[in-house]
Structure 1
C-alpha cells in the first residue's frame, strides 16, 4: 500500500505532480500538490549487478518497471487522483551511462556512479607526457576547469570514464549506440520519446561549456580531448523546460490524460537543494544518504582546486550549485548493520531487524558524547572532500576493553558528523564567507533526531529538520515541475518548506567535540601515508 505523508488534506480539485525519485537502492514515486504537500508515496527496490572487480551495473528496464509499478499503485489507490495529475517530473542519481539505439532501447546495462572500469581509459585521456598535475596534463586541466568547473574523475566513476571505457573496450557497441544517456535522460526518453539531457545531468560528460548559463553547450575542444562524438550525446535543455507530453502508451498504462506534461527535472543534488527549500544564495543543505554532500546556491561559477569544491549548473536557470561531496555517510550504518551487527542474509523485509536504525538511535543516545574516547573514521570507500584520496579506509581508533557495542554505534554516528564538519569548513569559505545561520538536513539520515542533534553539537550550527527529510528529492522534482508550468517561482519555495524542528548546538559539548575534531584531523594527517602505502597496489574499493 502507498505510504501516507505528513501534511494536510488537499481539496479534491487540487492539481498534483507525479514526482519520481530514482536512487541507487530503488525508485520512489510521490504525489505532490503544487504547494509542496506530499499526499502519498511508494518505493520499489532495484537490484545491483557486480561485474568483475570494478564494474557495478543496473538494468534500465528495472528502473522503468519500478517506476511503472510504484506509480500504478500510487494512482490506483484513488481514481480521483489520476484526473488531478498535471505533470510528471524526475529526479535521479547522476554519473551514470546508458547506451541506447535509435529507438531508445538500452543496448547494455547502465554503468553506475561506483563503476570504476574506466579509470585507466580516462587517465590516458587526461594526462600529457611527463608533466602532470595530480594525474592531469596542465593545459587539459586548465581547459576543463575554465569551461566546466571541474574535470573527469580519474577513478573512472563518472560518465566521461564510462564512455571512455566503452570506446576502448566495446567499439562494436559504441558503433551501434545512438546516444549515451544519464539515468534522468533515459527516464525522460521513456516518458516522452525525446532524446535530451539537462545541464546538470550532462555535467559529468565533462564536455559542456558552463560559463554562461543562458547558453550551456558542448565544446568541440573538450569532445576532442575525451574522444567523444557529439552526435552520440543528447541535446541540452533547462531543468524547468516542458520537454513534451506523456507518450500515449505510458499515459494509458498510468491512467493519466494524454496531455499530461513532462518537465525535464534534475539529478539528485539539484533536486535536494530545491526540496530542502535552500534556494537562496549561501543557504546550506546537507544530504545524508548512502553518500553525502553539502550544497548551496551561488551566483557565479568557481572552483576550489585544492579543496575539491566547485559550483556547477543546477535546476535554477541563473544560479550555480556549490557542491562538496563525501563518499560514504549512511553507507557506514548499512555496513554496521549488515557486516557487524547482523549478516545481510539474516535481514528480511518482514523481519523487524530490517529497520534497525531507530534502535541504533536509541542505543547511541544512551552513550555520553565523545563515545568514551572512541573515534571512528568513516572512509569505507576513500574520500572526496576536503581531500580526494581513494586510499583512505575506515577504522576505529582507541578501542579498549572498556568499550561496548553501544560505544561503537555512537562512534559510527559521530564519525560521520566529524567528517561533515571537516567538509563544512572549506565550504563556508567557498560560499563567499557567508556563514549560513544553519543547515537543512535531508535524506534518510535526516530522519534521526539523535543524529541531527549530534551534527548540531559537532558543527556548532543550527540544524533544521524538514517534515519529511527522506522525500526531499521527490519534493524538489515537484517544485521544479511547478516552476516549469509557471505555477511557482523559485523565490516562493522557502515559504513552502517549513521545518519540523530545529536543533541548536549545546554549549556543554563544545569543548569536548572541538577536541574530538582535532583528534580526527590529526589521525588523517598521520594515517594518510600509511593508507597510501598499504593500499597502493590493492584493487580500488567498490
Structure 2
C-alpha cells in the first residue's frame, strides 16, 4: 500500500457486526473489512439486553489483525487510532478496569420504572414533572427518556437491583469509553458520549461539565463517572498490552472519539446546518445539524452536542430498521428449528432484496409496522410491536419482504414530519448511509415514500469509520471540516418516482391509522406478556 497519505486506523464495534478501516484525515476509505454476527445479544426477562465486553475486545483484535493482513499497510503509515461503539450503553468497571459483568446496551429497558419515578411530578407535561423538566431542559437541552434505554436508566437499574455491582463500581463507562480504557488505560468520556447520563451542563457547548444539581437529583455520585474532555481530545498513547493484542506499534495516539451515532453523522458528509441524512442500520434515524439548542418533549427529540466542534444535531432514533430484515432471515426464512430451513446462506440479505423486487410498489396492500422492540421517536412507547397487516391467501413472500422495506420507510416519513417541524423548514435532498443503504431497491423506496431525492454516499455501510477518520484528522490538525466537505463522494442519486406517489401517500395514512387504532391493544398485550 502506498504511503503517500497519513492513515487513521478506525474501528466501529456495532451491535451485530465489527468494522475496521484505514481512513485518510479527509475521509477517504482506503481499506476496510467487516465481520458480521460477531457478538451475541443476551436478551433477559423484563426488557434486559446485554453484551459481553470481553467478546467485543476479542472481535476487535481479530478484525483489526485481518485488516492489517489483507491491506498490507505499512505500520509507519498509521498515525492514530479511533474507536467507536453503540451509544447509550453502560459498562461498570472496577479500579483495575475490569468489567463487573456484562454491559447493558442501548436496547435494555429495565431501568424505565426508575426513570419514570425520577422524572415524574404532580403537574406533568408529556408524563414529566413540570418542575423537573424545566431544570433538565435548562441545563441539558433534554430529559431522561421514559423508555429506560438511556445510560442513566441503566445505572439506576444497577443501583437498585444490583446493589453489590453498584458498590463495587469504580466508573460507569459508555461502550466507546470502555474500549478507550482498553487502549490507553485511562478512564475518560467525551462531551458527546456523556450526554445520555443527563447529569451535565450543556449550555456552553465548548465547556460541558457535570452539574451538581442534576447529580443530586439522580442520586449518582460524581466519583463513579469518568472525567470529561472535548471530542477532539487526544486521549493518550496506545499501551504496550493493547499494541500487542492489535499487532500495532505501542505509543500510537488514540483519539477520545465519539459514539457510533455521532460518528456516522460526521461520516454522512452532511455537515452543514440543516443538511439532512438518514442512517439505515440495525436502528435508524433522520437528522441534521442545527445552530441552536432546542427540546421537543412531545416527539422525544432534542438538539444535542455533535462530534463537529461547536455544533448541535437533532437527536432521534427509531429502534428497529435493518434488524427487521434480520428478524425475517433468522426467525422466518432460515430459522434453525425442526423445519431445517437454516442456517441462512451468506448472501441471505441479497436474496431477500431480490425477492422484494418481485413485488409491486405498495406490496398489494400488505403493510408492516417495524416496531419489533418498541419505539423512541416520533412516539416513545416501549409496548409497541411489529405486525403484518392485510395478509390474504394470495399474499406472497415477496410482498411480505417488500412490505418490511416499505414499513421502515413509512416510519421514517412519520419521523420526517416531526424533524421538519423541529427545524421549521422542509428538508431537501437527503444523504443516506448505513448497511441498508447498500440496497438500491431500499434507497428507491425511501425516495418514493419520502418524496425526496436520496443521495447514496460512497461506502454507505462504513460511514462510522469515515466519521472517526475525519474526527482524528481534526483532533490531530491533519485536516479541516471544509477540506472534508469538498471530498464528498455520492455514488448515485435516487429521484422520487411520481407514479408511486399516490400509492405511498395512501398507505402512509393507513400506517398512521394502524398506530392510532392499535396502540392501546399493544399496551394491554405487552404489559402482560412483555
Provide TM-score, normalisation by structure 2: 0.95
Q: Secondary structure at the match of 1:40?
A: strand
Q: 1:424 to 1:33 in 2, by over 3 A?
A: same
> What is residue 5 of structure 1 aligned with on the other side?
none
Distance across 1 between alignment mates of 2:257 and 2:160: 32
Distance across 2 between alignment mates of 1:401 and 1:347: 22
Task: Identify the match of residue 463 of structure 1 among 426, 448, 454.
Answer: 454
Deviations 1:443-476 (A, max 9, x none): 1100000000011011010001112111011111
Deviations 1:367-416 (A, max 9, x none): 21111122222122222221112222222222222321111111111111
Q: 1:199 to 1:401 in 2, by over 3 A?
A: same
Task: Identify the match of residue 90 of structure 1 among 59, 80, 83.
Answer: 83
Deviations 1:86-130 (A, max 9, x none): 0001121011111111221112211111122222232232223x4
Q: How does 1:501-516 map to 2 (within 5 A)?
A: 501-516=492-507
- The reply on whether 1:320 has 2:295 as its aligned counterpart is no
Q: Secondary structure at the match of 2:271?
A: coil
> What is residue 487 of structure 1 aligned with on the other side?
478
Task: Identify the match of residue 55 of structure 2 among 53, 62, 65.
Answer: 62
Give, in angstroms, the shift of residue 78 of structure 1: 5.4
> What is residue 399 of structure 2 aligned with on the other side?
407
Kept in 1, the 8 Å contact 2:458–2:490? The answer is: yes
Give, in angstroms, the shift of residue 79 of structure 1: 5.5
Task: Identify the match of residue 452 of structure 1 among 433, 443, 449.
Answer: 443
Deviations 1:297-352 (A, max 9, x none): 1111111121222111121121011122111111211111222222146677xx67
Kept in 2, the 8 Å contact 1:21–1:27? The answer is: yes
Kept in 2, the 8 Å contact 1:461–1:504? The answer is: yes
Distance across 2 between alignment mates of 1:67 and 1:332: 25
Give, in angstroms, the shift of residue 283 of structure 1: 1.0
Please tell me the root mean square deviation across aligned C-alpha atoms, in Å: 1.9
> What is residue 220 of structure 1 aligned with on the other side?
212
Q: Secondary structure at the match of 1:185?
A: helix
> What is residue 420 of structure 2 aligned with on the other side?
428
> What is residue 179 of structure 2 aligned with on the other side?
187
Q: 1:429 to 1:125 in 2, by over 3 A?
A: closer
Task: Identify the match of residue 345 of structure 2 among 337, 353, 359.
Answer: 353
> What is residue 265 of structure 1 aligned with on the other side?
257
Q: 1:255 to 1:371 in 2, by over 3 A?
A: closer
- The reply on whether 1:116 has 2:109 as its aligned counterpart is yes
Q: Which runs of 5+ in 2 are unaligned?
A: none
Shifted more, 336-345 versus 218-227: the winner is 336-345
Q: 1:307 to 1:55 in 2, by over 3 A?
A: closer
Deviations 1:195-220 (A, max 9, x none): 11011211111111111111111111
Q: 1:182 to 1:288 in 2, by over 3 A?
A: same
Task: Identify the match of residue 5 of structure 2 among 14, 24, 36.
Answer: 14
> What is residue 478 of structure 1 aligned with on the other side?
469
Q: 1:258 to 1:54 in 2, by over 3 A?
A: same
Give, in angstroms, the shift of residue 80 of structure 1: 4.4
Distance across 2 between alignment mates of 1:347 and 1:412: 21
> What is residue 271 of structure 2 aligned with on the other side?
279
- The reply on whether 1:154 has 2:181 as its aligned counterpart is no
Distance across 1 between alignment mates of 2:496 and 2:253: 44
Count of residues in Structure 1 that have an aligned counterpart in Structure 2: 526
Q: Which runs of 5+ in 1 are unaligned?
A: 1-9
Q: Secondary structure at the match of 1:519?
A: helix
- The reply on whether 1:519 has 2:515 as its aligned counterpart is no
> What is residue 6 of structure 1 aligned with on the other side?
none
